[in-house]
Structure 1
């Protein structure tokens, strides 16, 4: 019976994989009125902070030396390099490499930079010893100094991709548990093993936890919010790194939460960030800590033949404040393998459905 179920799942998966692009809300239309896609900014995991009438963009890479660089703009089209705003060598620095996915928030006149890095405290010599920290500055242009000489907390496994929500006097931290040493049973894992591709499939899951008011630690235990599907035909787009024989991992990462009316929307990325199938979906909840239900119209952002590897997004608003904008990284054949920043319009429709009008490429 199990064999029949897997065969049927494979058949459905193949059909969905063939037709998925026809049902996507993405568009390949060249839109010269958009935001100069791709931007002339080579960053992964881009995050944009609007501070008064100026935008600041942070991300992974960009020539940073064990830290993070920033760019500034007034129109989201023309960017000036601010320079490196965070250095691991600051007096409380605890990370040694793998500085990823910075996000900056303004609270009470201060700026807080959340990020992930490889923790130097590594008694068991783990290959992936990633943790999340927070640094503070008086300016969005830095310099940022770690609030303490250690990560915010250690859940006992490697974590990346911090995202923060300030809601009703509370602060919530969202993060992704890494795939590292986290094999999970699923129909996809069973299928890949029978094909002789992989003995096991590791997975990353998104968690949420409340932070202390001073951001020095967590309150209570983390709550599991999102994970890849157990059934092979369900949300098959999240398994393409495996079904395309790219990697023995399924990712759920790069979460970004926002509230629209009474509903919390959590956008997230699936598949290998370094491959073509990196894509974005979303889930909804009535509570900051779930339960979250994945949307039927996922993925809302994915490759379209011209742009690939679309993922790890954040959200900002247009200079006039009228439009929601999805900020993410991607690649084109013309720009090569390097990750560049894209900005496309997005909207929550009257029926609650979230759509992203991209990826687009400007002329």
Structure 2
């Protein structure tokens, strides 16, 4: 449907953004301004000022040139600038020292560029807090920004900065759009974060981008939000705004009566403060062509659909993967299993457990399973409603039946959040169940596989968050785990080793072995498989889906684990496609 719509469209919408603390220029697209898709990758990495790119604003100039400005750092006194004709090839970046000569300048944030057609010039606006100015609104609770502006015709010579919008209070993130013969501005009042008082989004109008502005007495949005951007969508003035604390965008459209009302929008997960603009269709077509070429060089997911937290096991002559089935806000309810004879070709076998039907004690949050075999029975360890359960079946493909009719590990029974079970069997036949979010914990399992031998044991792991994995190689116990939040681009994996399955665990100085690389982000919550009767090892992990993925849209991939001569785990390559077939050769 997207391709059909694109074929019929003459123009499309683009939405710029940054991710994390300011990694570079990201671009999403939409045919209707409501449903957005990512164009994967970073189009421009920042290299000027303090080296950040936050709040990227993009203007399509009258001659077809795109002008990009951005915040380069929290305390910089200038902004970043670059230009492009196609958003792929960029001019050298320049640092524009707009406030360097203004004594007392503390910040230079969220710049935007507006083309003033009657004057045939560009107006750059931004927010600065300047010590000694506007003493009547100085406060220990927040900063003291006002909107400043400078004009230019060539982005080389600039007028002196001047205050163009002073509503009588601290504010940031001013954005402009032409309205009739005048201009409408939307901006955010500053927060008093220590008091948890968050400034509204306001609007104002003026005959010129340089003012004077009349502020509407009613705020547009009173919830915690920032980074508004304006466009005309289906003939209505529409504002997209970044609800940054909630990790989402919202949209508001202006009605015929001048009032604003919420309107549906679905943006790209992880997107932060950027610009919406309408561009000719060929601009997007070139971006999508670039995206296709880039994706062709990356590893493809090995399972269909959105999956995460994969656990891989070898039973007989097949590999089996038991993942989480991703859904919005992690509200998953069922588990399925995939099988393969060679790690390359995977088949979805069956749904093995539906917590809405098969459990008495939980009906949601079906996460991060694992599986094990003992005496011809297969045991399925899983999370549901923040607790760990166990089910049993006759085949690795299920179906599995709840073995206890209650949690195996209840929320209040241990001093950690009981999720992410990982099964490990030692050479002496002793089984262990590792788990935890926040504090890694392990139980010794009894031979019945559904009860424990003794109390839980806790042990520290460096920067541990969740997703513990334990395996043994050449007499050494390897512990691997995930760090950060699964929604973060910087979700990553570290490791350490021990002489005991109960620790203590020692990590090398460079202990992070799987992390984001280019378009591949959110790499973590993996499991490990050894090809039987070899010393070849693989990590099965999830990443944010490419394109358009995030913490609730992930996909399962595979990468080889290589070891140094000293037994150390070498950095895992998540950007090279995996092609080697690994059939199981039974002795």
Scaled by the length of structure 1, the TM-score of the pair is 0.69
Equivalent position of 2:375 in the other structure: 108
In structure 1, the gaps of 5 or more residues are: 1-17, 19-29, 119-129, 179-203, 229-237, 239-250
Cα deviation, 1:66-85, whole Å, max 9, x if unaligned, reads 22011122222222222311
Verify: 1:174 aligned to 2:434, yes or no: yes
Taking structure 1 as reference, are residues 334 and 31 closer, same or farther at Cα in structure 2, changes over 3 Å only? closer
Does the 8 Å CA contact 2:377/2:395 hold for their aligned counterparts? yes
Greater relative CO, 1 or 2 (CA 8 Å, sep 6+): 1
Correspondent of 1:349 among 564, 574, 578: 564
User: In the alignment, is residue 39 of structure 1 matched against residue 302 of structure 2?
Assistant: yes
Tell me if 1:290 matches 2:491: no
1:125-144 matches, within 5 Å, as 130-144=386-400
Residue of structure 2 equivalent to 1:86: 353
- 2:402 maps to what in 1? 146
Whole-angstrom CA distance in 1 between matches of 2:573 and 2:356: 39
Q: Is the CA contact 2:370–2:381 (under 8 Å) kept in the aligned structure 1?
A: yes
Partner of 2:211: none
1:257 aligns with 2:521: no
Which SS does the other structure have where 1:305 is aligned? coil
1:320/1:258 Cα in 2 relative to 1: closer, same or farther (>3 Å)?
Answer: closer
Q: CA deviation at 1:222?
A: 1.6
1:151 offset after TM fit, Å? Answer: 1.4
Q: Is the 8 A contact 1:281 1:295 kept in 2?
A: no
Deviations 1:317-337 (A, max 9, x none): 358845201110002542533
The residue number in structure 1 matching 2:364 is: 97
- Supply the distance in 2 between the matched residues of 1:147 and 1:295 (Cα, whole angstroms): 40
Instruction: Spell out, residue by residue over 1:8-48, the C-alpha distance to the aligned partner (whole angstroms, 9 max, x if none).
Output: xxxxxxxxxx9xxxxxxxxxxx99999x5333432110111
TM-score by length of 2: 0.44
> How far apart, CA to CA, are the structure 1 residues paired with 2:486 and 2:576?
20
Q: What's 1:163 paired with? A: 422
> What SS is found at the alignment partner of 1:328?
strand
Question: In structure 2, do the counterparts of structure 1 residues 89 and 331 end up closer, same or farther at CA, with 3 Å as the change threshold?
Answer: closer
> What is the aligned partner in structure 1 of residue 145 from structure 2?
none
How far, CA to CA, are the matches of 2:488 and 2:419 in structure 1? 19
Unaligned runs of 5+ in 2: 1-50, 52-293, 579-587
Q: Which runs of 4+ in 1 moved over 3 A?
A: 30-34, 62-65, 89-93, 317-322
Larger radius of gyration: 2
Instruction: Return the match for 1:61 from 307, 312, 325.
Output: 325
1:305 aligns with 2:522: no
Aligned-pair RMSD on alpha carbons? 2.7
Task: State the distance in 1 between where 2:489 and 2:373 align.
Answer: 34
